[in-house]
Amino acid sequence: MENTAIVTAVHRDRYELCVGTEILYGRLKTTAFYNSGETVMFPTVGDRVRVLRNADGDSTILKVMERKSVFMRLNATQGLPDQAVAANFDDVFITMSLNKDFHPSKLERYLTAAWQSGGTPVILLTKSDLKEDREQVLAQVNSLAPGVDVYCVSSYTGEGFSQLEKYFANGHTIVLLGSSGVGKSSFVNVVMGSEQMQTSDIRESDAQGRHTTTYKQMFYIPDRIILPDKSVIKGGGRIIDTPGMRKLIMGEGTDGMESMFEDIEELALQCRFSDCRHQTEPGCAVKKALETGELDQRHWKTYLSLQKEEAYARERQQILMRKMEKSKRRR
């Protein structure tokens, strides 16, 4: 029997799948994924896949269905396709902790990645129990991300969670994005009402045997969420926890760059030369704005480095395509 399933976890070469409320396990159909000579999408958490149900043993994953959103990261092995981290989410909760120094460039980078992924960014400032004066951070966030919703939460006290009810809805998926240690897994554990994900204060050795070693996983949020102070809010929907994604790459899409750096793209239109590289060209509006301070140096630097990464991603993709073409012709 063939079904559509949702991938809820990836364990090496075995996939945890969900069909309705049923959980099953699947493995990739070798001929479909490894010997096809085409660029195939490998399943990741959140993916919808077609599976062939086996009466006994693991089911067979036939293909990955088209994604509405995705995060990619660089494959450590040269020449192999980049890896999808999570797929088919609606909202990207950009998670940063209030108590650590707040880094504007990091936020810009995450925002760009979020816009590019096809999801909607939401900013989650965690550990609000540790920070008395949050006004300064909030002002900075609002100026960097106008129009993006921002929430201060504490997984210890439950502060701020009731404002998030609108994101917990059936058929709706949230993905957590942020450096390790900011409190993503603690957030998931509050939402789930039990310890689903290992948090970093539990030493690996203590945790052995209690948790599987899955590092990213999707959970079905219960209909009612009981907060640490015992108050209850409405739940529902799904949430994906991820490890810190340091090697997240900027995809080929340009939407993210356009939304985040509209000011720079607009300035560039005023340069004397339409192909101005904003270096030594006369009549450069970008350089002038940098001199007068109208354009923030840091914002400009983030733009340049993200642009470089984007070009790099595009180049990698082209090399990969050529390789695939070659191997197809050879067969």
Ligand X SMILES: Nc1nc2c(ncn2[C@@H]2O[C@H](COP(=O)(O)OP(=O)(O)O)[C@@H](O)[C@H]2O)c(=O)[nH]1
C-beta closer to Zn ion: residue 72 or 276 = 276
The token duo for 70 is 């995705």
Residues in contact with 155: Cβ distance below 8 Å, sequence separation at least 6, in sequence order: 126, 127, 183, 186, 187, 189, 190, 228
CB-nearest residue to Mg ion = 185
Query: CA-based angle 162:164:168, to the nearest 5?
Result: 110
Alpha-carbon span 94 to 148, nearest angstrom = 11
Spatial separation of the C-alpha atoms in residues 118 and 53, rounded to whole Å: 31
Tell me: does residue 185 bind Mg ion (CB under 5 A): yes
**DSSP tag of 244:** -
Amino acid sitting at position 11:
H
Asked if 264 interacts with Zn ion (CB under 5 A), we say no
Report residue 106 as tokens.
């990091």
Number of C-beta neighbours around residue 66 at 10 A? 9
- Does position 181 interact with ligand X (CB under 6 A)? The reply is yes
Q: Tell which one of 58, 82, 129, 265 touches ligand X (CB under 6 A).
A: 129
Residue of 44, 59, 173, 185 that binds ligand X (CB under 6 A): 185
Q: Is 207 in the site for ligand X (CB under 6 A)?
A: no
Q: Is 238 near ligand X (CB under 6 A)?
A: no
* Tokens linked to 305: 């480095």
Of the residues 124, 271, 295, 313, which one makes contact with Zn ion according to CB under 5 A? 271
Which stretch in 128-136, 176-184, 232-240, 286-294 sits in contact with Zn ion by CB under 5 A?
286-294
Pick the stretch among 27-35, 59-67, 246-254, 265-273 that binds Zn ion (CB under 5 A): 265-273
Binds ligand X by CB under 6 A, chosen from 67, 109, 127, 216: 127
- Contact window for ligand X (CB under 6 A) among 12-20, 31-39, 124-132, 286-294: 124-132
Beta bridge partners of 72: 84
224-231: long-range contacts (C-beta < 8 A, 24 or more apart)?
A: 225/161, 225/168, 225/190, 225/191, 225/193, 226/193, 227/158, 227/161, 227/162, 227/190, 228/155, 228/156, 228/157, 228/158, 228/190, 229/157, 229/158, 231/158, 231/162
Instruction: Determine if 278 is a binding residue for Zn ion (CB under 5 A).
Output: yes
Q: If binding means CB under 6 A, how many residues of this protein chain bind ligand X?
A: 18
154 binds ligand X (CB under 6 A): yes
Q: Give the residue, chosen from 191, 284, 295, 313, that forms a contact with Zn ion under the rule CB under 5 A.
A: 284
List the single partner that 130 binds among Zn ion, ligand X, Mg ion, none, CB under 5 to 8 Å by kind. Answer: ligand X
Q: Which of 137, 112, 105 is nearest to 124 (CA)?
A: 137
Q: Does 126 bind ligand X (CB under 6 A)?
A: yes
- Which residues contact Mg ion (rule: CB under 5 A)? 184-185
List residues binding ligand X (CB under 6 A): 126-127, 129-130, 154-156, 178, 180-186, 199-201
Q: Which stretches of the chain bind Zn ion, using CB under 5 A?
A: 271, 276, 278, 284, 286
